[in-house]
Chains A and B, each alone.
Chain A
Amino acid sequence: MLSQLILFGVSMGCLYALIAIGFVMIWNTAAVVNFAQGEFAMFGMFLAYTAHVMWGVPLWLSLPLAVGGTAGLGYFTERGLIRPILGSDPLSVIMVTIGLQILFSNGARVIWGTQPFHFPNFLGSNVWRIAGLLLSYQSIAIIIIMITIAVLLHILSQKTRFGKKLRAVAQDREIASLMGIKVDQTIAYGFALSAGLAGVAGVLMAPIIFVSADIGLPLLVKSFIAAVIGGFGSYPGALIGGILIGVMDNLIGFYISTDYRDVMTFLILILILLARPEGLFPHHR
């Protein structure tokens, strides 16, 4: 059972990691703690639900549309709501993103209602048995997609002009500007990319946890903890942190108590920060 719990935990943790990586990306490029990151995932879920379940658009088109739409939301959020206050008092910026979290969550309730919706499994509900372990096709897909995205992000970051711009802006915006990089545009695209990552997470999660307007905040909490544990600002840290959260959730729930799972997760966060305030991988960006 231990291996089974770890496997399912890794699968769920990959989704937390996706949202956490987006979180970290926005922090690195714009120095903004985006409390609406969980709502981007929720928005991605609803876009996929609307396109595929309500309008009958085929899955192969619905999912990319949902991710693209979420990325677009991220872009316009930065352009319209974040950019005007960038550089001002950090508390003001935080309040704006908290306000965005509330706005998006309530907006979703108004548009789609308050009840949860079922989203069909992309690959059916079959389960694969390997070496005595059970893994649903959906979970396998999540892990494969996560690995793929991690590789692509690495290539983007290291091998592309855009990736270099992102890293340059993250390191020093002023110098990046002096080097001819359009900082505002880079930040906007960074927002779009991070929202898109949250959208991917949302779309992958939709068949697992139901599509609902109130899912953003719990996702934000888990991904925030993942980002902090990993070392706020560290991409590998966010990835490891997310997987750690997913696995811990299952192990604590099984071996200790399902009722105190969240309590224990926060306790572990506190203990890690006490022992290592900079997180597990603070220097890896």
Chain B
Amino acid sequence: MTFKKLHICLLAAIMVVGVVVTSTQAEEKVWVGLVGIMTGPNAQNGEFTRTGAQLAVDEINTAGGVKLPNGETRNLGLIVVDDQGKPDIGLNAIRKLVADERVLGFMGPDYSGITFPTLFVGEEAGVSQITSSIAKKITHSGFKHIFRGRSNDEMWIKALIDYSVGKLSKKSIGISFTNIELGRSGRDVAKAYLKDKYGIKPVVEVSHTYGDRDLTASAAKIVKANPDLLIDWGTQIEAALLIRALRNLGWQGTFAYNAADDIFTSLAKELSVGVIGPQNWVWSKDDSKTKKFVNAYESKHGKKPSPHSVIYYDAVHLFVQAISQAGPNRKAIMDYLHALEEWDGVEGSYRPSTEGGDMSTATVIIKYNEEILPVVVTEFE
């Protein structure tokens, strides 16, 4: 045999072995999917979702894997796809995910602007979807396959306003938002709740474009109106830029922000002090499940988990519970979840059987102290 022929045979043999090994490995697992922002300016967000989910996957596999109703045990696999924070990319990513028959359920996206317009994909495929998006309409539009893993923006805004107006006695309120689905949704809910419950009309309402890096004009409008408290609803980058612009223009009011998390504080730094915000969960919560999860996450990644991490961590465990009870079948998993009245995760109690899919109502209001650590000032359930 010439060297060339031997070379070709060897390559072919390697390929065959690779295919056999790969397909064998694939058959041994049950799979869940994750769609998130893995690249782009908000990739840190996606990173927290992925690491939270992966931690759960690793724990489950270390403990022996997923035990199916027929007694068989399989490892759990996670397929991650990138939506880049863009609806068109997200649509293709989710289509790719649900087209893979192995995927029994999937998590994400996080951005409401991607989740809402792509809901039909999971619905048509009959695949359960657990999202961290907070726009209320995601679970109020009649889709049966969707479950929300955290309290929605309506719950957050009400909690924030009840704390700000009810406890802090703020009367002059301003609203600013990033002009995306998340921001507009938050603005609508805030205005309606302020008016209906407290009879308060915002003294200023300002929007800014997603991706904008100079928010001087937005800040100037706010400073001119000079609210005691500003509710900002949008992404972390714009919020950090806005608070800096506000402080540079001499505004001294309280900044309340919907995603006051470690991503925000890594950008805003010392300007985070005094910022308040609603969250589904924060790593400084004083309960044993939180401490255990935070220790495990920090040991692996060298940093605290974000509120997103815990949603996806819990989501993986919830999916595994469903798979182990209902079997590796998409419809059976969805039926199981719809029938499940209560399930306890790290974030709190989940109620998947809730009509519409709002599984969780756990909400905390946090305030950043002088060390830029989140302190829970009040909790809502």
Question: How far apart sit A251 and B269, CA to CA, in the bound complex (Å)?
Answer: 28
Cross-interface CB contact of A115 among B42, B211, B248, cutoff 8 Å? B42
With A209-B241, A259-B179, A259-B207 as contacts: A116 and B41 at CB distance below 8 Å: yes
Q: What is the 8 Å Cβ interface bit string for chain B, positions 197-229, against chain A (1 contact, 0 not)?
A: 000000000111101111111101101100000
Residue A109 interfacial (CB < 8 Å) = yes
State whether A1 touches B220 (Cβ < 8 A): yes
Instruction: For B44, list chain A residues within 8 Å (CB).
Output: 115
Within 8 A of A (CB), among B252-302: 263, 266-271
State whether A109 touches B39 (Cβ < 8 A): yes
Complex: chain A residue closest to B263, CB-CB? A115
Residue A278 interfacial (CB < 8 Å) = no
State whether B209 touches A215 (Cβ < 8 A): no
Question: How far apart sit A249 and B43, CA to CA, in the bound complex (Å)?
Answer: 28
Q: What is the 8 Å Cβ interface bit string for chain A, positions 249-266, against chain B (1 contact, 0 not)?
A: 111111000110110000
Question: How far apart sit A1 and B248, CA to CA, in the bound complex (Å)?
Answer: 13
State whether A210 touches B237 (Cβ < 8 A): yes
State whether A210 touches B241 (Cβ < 8 A): yes
With A210-B240, A215-B213, A249-B217 as contacts: A115 and B208 at CB distance below 8 Å: no
Within 8 A of A (CB), among B17-46: 39-44
* CB proximity of A217 to chain B, nearest CB, Å: 10
State whether B214 touches A12 (Cβ < 8 A): yes
Instruction: For B247, list chain A residues within 8 Å (CB).
Output: 125, 127
Complex: chain A residue closest to B47, CB-CB? A115
Q: How many residues of A contact B (CB 8 A)?
A: 35
Q: What is the 8 Å Cβ interface bit string for chain A, positions 95-130, against chain B (1 contact, 0 not)?
A: 000000000000001000111111010000101000
* CB proximity of B199 to chain A, nearest CB, Å: 28
State whether B220 touches A5 (Cβ < 8 A): yes
State whether B266 touches A249 (Cβ < 8 A): no
Residue A4 interfacial (CB < 8 Å) = yes
State whether A127 touches B248 (Cβ < 8 A): yes
* CB proximity of A265 to chain B, nearest CB, Å: 12
Complex: chain B residue closest to A251, CB-CB? B217
Cross-interface CB contact of A253 among B216, B263, B266, cutoff 8 Å? B216
With A253-B216, A253-B218, A261-B217 as contacts: A1 and B224 at CB distance below 8 Å: yes
Residue A8 interfacial (CB < 8 Å) = yes
Residue B249 interfacial (CB < 8 Å) = yes
With A116-B237, A218-B213, A254-B221 as contacts: A134 and B41 at CB distance below 8 Å: no
Cross-interface CB contact of A250 among B40, B43, B208, B216, cutoff 8 Å? B216
Instruction: For A5, list chain B residues within 8 Å (CB).
Output: 216-217, 220
State whether B248 touches A134 (Cβ < 8 A): yes
Residue A212 interfacial (CB < 8 Å) = yes
Question: How far apart sit A4 and B248, CA to CA, in the bound complex (Å)?
Answer: 11
* CB proximity of B352 to chain A, nearest CB, Å: 32
Complex: chain B residue closest to A256, CB-CB? B217
Q: What is the 8 Å Cβ interface bit string for chain A, positions 204-224, against chain B (1 contact, 0 not)?
A: 000011101011001000000
Cross-interface CB contact of A249 among B214, B223, B269, cutoff 8 Å? B214
Cross-interface CB contact of B249 among A113, A116, A134, cutoff 8 Å? A134
State whether A115 touches B216 (Cβ < 8 A): no
Residue A9 interfacial (CB < 8 Å) = yes
Within 8 A of B (CB), among A128-154: 134, 136
Residue B250 interfacial (CB < 8 Å) = yes
Question: How far apart sit A134 and B216, CA to CA, in the bound complex (Å)?
Answer: 12
Instruction: For A251, list chain B residues within 8 Å (CB).
Output: 217
Complex: chain B residue closest to A209, CB-CB? B213
Within 8 A of B (CB), among A231-283: 249-254, 258-259, 261-262
Question: How far apart sit A261 and B263, CA to CA, in the bound complex (Å)?
Answer: 27
State whether A114 touches B217 (Cβ < 8 A): no
State whether A118 touches B39 (Cβ < 8 A): no
Instruction: For B266, list chain A residues within 8 Å (CB).
Output: 117-118
Within 8 A of B (CB), among A1-29: 1, 4-5, 8-9, 12
Could you say which of B179, B209, B213, B237 has the most chain A C-beta atoms within 10 Å of its C-beta? B213
* CB proximity of B265 to chain A, nearest CB, Å: 9
Instruction: For B224, list chain A residues within 8 Å (CB).
Output: 1
State whether B41 touches A114 (Cβ < 8 A): yes
State whether B248 touches A113 (Cβ < 8 A): no
* CB proximity of A137 to chain B, nearest CB, Å: 10
Q: Apart from A12-B214, A210-B213, A261-B209, list 7 A-B contacts with CB within 8 A.
A: A116-B41, A127-B247, A210-B240, A250-B217, A250-B220, A261-B217, A262-B209
The 19 sampled A-B contact pairs (Cβ below 8 Å) are: A4-B249, A9-B216, A12-B214, A12-B216, A114-B39, A114-B41, A117-B266, A118-B240, A118-B268, A120-B269, A210-B240, A212-B41, A214-B40, A214-B211, A218-B211, A218-B213, A252-B217, A254-B220, A261-B209
